[in-house]
Structure 1
């Protein structure tokens, strides 16, 4: 006798990393409450998990996502949880982004030796990051403020990266606040980087819950976890990224936020940046517009800012990264 559909455990596809498991565990609890069904985690290894090459070398786009999406299409899992910043901007027709829950802190943070702030690091400080976006902005800030730093490309999980500081190999590493929050290690942060210093990756701090486009019942249930403000913001950011024709490993930062007058939300502001990884050339612009009440409205804001950035030479800066 087959198990009744209503009581069968929903299968949630997730990467195996500590952070991915923590994120997926939070979503599993929320989905179980919404659906009244148990949720089991199905661990899936992605290419980005097994490759030791730097993301810029292996292409970045989709390396943490493709295996999860393949499992969804094959019906091996019912839905999957991604870090939204890892998700390619092109959406496969057979899958749907069913929910974008409320965003965590989107900022980047520093974990440094001796509890140092970024601006207090000694001359010649070595700062580890696997992100060309972070390299570009840290180096640009250092140049404009007379700081002497060296950005060092690294890979690995949170333990590995913080270990470089603990072992004295690096003076500091840059990580995402959201990830450290989700695994309960935010107290190890020595400095929160203002978004005026380093704009986060498009979608940073947000999760994406994806399922098959033909599963109307599950789509409706997952939609209850969707946060409209977060979805509008990340839609604007990802539309900027897509219009720049850049992948998620490109040196592009973006952040959309709501501008309020007291309790009244007036408009949405979108900031974008692209630069060479050595920080010598940067294009950083912002735009504001009415708070989008549709997906298309948020997308239009992103495309408009991308057009302005391209007019200022943004495409050439991304191209220089590979030389």
Structure 2
């Protein structure tokens, strides 16, 4: 049986999907890539928050799964809505790439070396809020388009710098353009950033079993905790929220360490808190941290709604 793997057409999406396909081929499966065009791919100018968040990159792939056009789909995990789908399941979360954000700036400059007034492009409210909070006097510009388009705006002098996901640049072999990998102390990444989600139909046990071999338990625990923060906060698509979990060695073995931030989009304040617990209790650790953020005023800083949605991040960027 040939597994039909649905992928978006962008270079990054195809690279990610090919990586998954190659891992499955190594396990003895035949895999065919099937290209799917999403609304987010067709419209590269409208801000993602206005389009309903990065769910615009997910819906067409999910439709193809449900119709039986494909057997599995590969998503950047940060694109997936936190609300589960009854008929679909994330059968594997492979080992994560570097979750941090990266700066690509003219003349090899780091963030601290950019002069006040420098133009920095980002399409992410989360990145914008945390950059504003640093008080560096940067001029932030709305940014859309694929990775190549974004990098081109620095190369041609339209922007002084852009901020992208380090994972995406590494995956497409462009890590050489990075002038600084941003420390999470300055810039907490999006929940799930750097991780892939391999989604299948819940009733397709054969594909579920095939894909399950790619799952990495530590990566899954980390992203479950991060996404639990987002879900418990019931964050709207324009809420600037970052979260990062890591598996560390504690007094009694492996421990999940989780940090999160809820920030004001104008950089006028943020709430940063941390929590820890067992990797087996990842969801509970994330929800406990989210409640702590709420107790300490997160709802006064960012738009938190009654309906969990997706985080506004461009796929893989």
What is the TM-score of this pair, normalised by structure 2? 0.92
Task: Tell me which residue corresponds to 1:220.
Answer: 209
Alignment of 1:100-115 (within 5 A): 100-115=93-108
Alignment of 1:181-196 (within 5 A): 181-196=170-185
How far 1:48 moved relative to its partner?
1.3
Task: Tell me which residue corresponds to 2:48.
Answer: 55
Q: Equivalent of 1:46, from 38, 41, 57?
A: 38
Q: Equivalent of 1:304, from 263, 288, 291?
A: 288
How far 1:189 moved relative to its partner?
0.3
Task: Tell me which residue corresponds to 1:5.
Answer: none
Task: Tell me which residue corresponds to 2:29.
Answer: 37
Work out the CA distance in 2 between the residues paired with 1:248 and 1:10: 33
Assess, with a 3 A threshold, how the Cα gap between structure 1 residues 32 and 166 changes in structure 2: closer, same or farther.
Answer: same
How far 1:274 moved relative to its partner?
1.2
Alignment of 1:137-286 (within 5 A): 137-141=130-134, 143=135, 147-247=136-236, 250-260=239-249, 265-286=253-274
Q: Deviations over 1:245-290 (max 9, x none)?
A: 115653110000122269x84421111111122111211111112x
How far 1:313 moved relative to its partner?
1.9
How large is the RMSD of aligned CA atoms in angstroms?
Answer: 1.6
Larger radius of gyration: 1
How far 1:315 moved relative to its partner?
2.1
Work out the CA distance in 1 between the residues paired with 2:300 and 2:35: 39
3-state SS, counterpart of residue 274 of structure 2: strand
Work out the CA distance in 1 between the residues paired with 2:29 and 2:246: 35
- How many residues align? The count is 304
Structure with bigger RCO (C-alpha 8 Å, 6+ apart): 2
3-state SS, counterpart of residue 243 of structure 2: strand
Task: Tell me which residue corresponds to 1:133.
Answer: 126
Assess, with a 3 A threshold, how the Cα gap between structure 1 residues 160 and 61 changes in structure 2: closer, same or farther.
Answer: closer
Work out the CA distance in 2 between the residues paired with 1:311 and 1:200: 22
Gap runs ≥5 in structure 1: 1-7
3-state SS, counterpart of residue 300 of structure 2: helix
Task: Tell me which residue corresponds to 2:309.
Answer: none
Q: Deviations over 1:141-179 (max 9, x none)?
A: 2x2xxx221111110111111111111111100000100
Work out the CA distance in 1 between the residues paired with 2:34 and 2:17: 10
Gap runs ≥5 in structure 2: 306-317
Work out the CA distance in 2 between the residues paired with 1:117 and 1:48: 30
Work out the CA distance in 2 between the residues paired with 1:305 and 1:37: 41
Assess, with a 3 A threshold, how the Cα gap between structure 1 residues 261 and 286 changes in structure 2: closer, same or farther.
Answer: closer
Work out the CA distance in 2 between the residues paired with 1:286 and 1:48: 33
Task: Tell me which residue corresponds to 1:313.
Answer: 297
Q: Deviations over 1:74-94 (max 9, x none)?
A: 100000000000000111111
Kindly indicate whether the alpha-carbon contact (under 8 Å) linking 1:258 and 1:265 is maintained by their aligned counterparts in 2.
Answer: no
Kindly indicate whether the alpha-carbon contact (under 8 Å) linking 2:235 and 2:304 is maintained by their aligned counterparts in 1.
Answer: no
Kindly indicate whether the alpha-carbon contact (under 8 Å) linking 2:126 and 2:239 is maintained by their aligned counterparts in 1.
Answer: yes
What is the TM-score of this pair, normalised by structure 1? 0.91
